[in-house]
Amino acid sequence: MTVSPGLGTALPASPDLLRSVFRRHAAGVAVITATRAGIPTGFTATSLTSVSAEPPMVSFGIGTSASSWPAVSEASYVGVHVLGAHQRELAATFARSGADRFAAPTRWAEGPEGVPVLDGVLAYLVCRVVARVPAGDHRLVLAEAVAGQTPGTGGPLLYHQGRFGELSA
């Protein structure tokens, strides 16, 4: 192993090292939604990335063992929702395995292309899926925005050190 001055000995790459590194990386929190056979599904994601302005494209990762993967693997369109700091419980609901994510108190409606659109978010996009790229035990989904809105105000919800948080001034 190489010793970096002041940094100690580098560790070999492993799933534990990757998780440890990314616990230290603050990320915005989003909920991705889709439908399968008319049934809404969704999950909390911290991997949302802006990819391109022309055309307007985003990406996110999803594990192939996730309960939402079957719907996302077949969906032509997905909803991408940027959560506000006031939506910790919504983020937790969509992250919880086995939860009825669309039951009350979750407020949502069918949006463009039949995509479930969540109420009260900072912003949302309805996106056409253009690619699902294999990436280890995940898939990287590339999607082109076709509609959206920025109805919310306030600060974003963040994820850091295994907890939801917000920006402090």
Distances (CA, A) of 73 to 3, 44, 85, 97, 143: 43, 16, 29, 18, 12
Whole-prediction pTM value?
0.91
Closest residue by Cα to residue 56 from 109, 6, 131, 126: 126
DSSP state, 84? Answer: B
Tokens of 118: 């969540």
- Which helix (H) or strand (E) covers residue 132, if one does? strand 123-135
- SS3 (DSSP) at 15: helix
Q: Domains plus CATH for the chain?
A: 16-149 (2.30.110.10)
**pLDDT digits 0-9 by tens, 70-91:** 999 999 999 999 999 999 999 9
53-71 pLDDT, tens digit per residue, is: 999 999 999 999 999 999 9
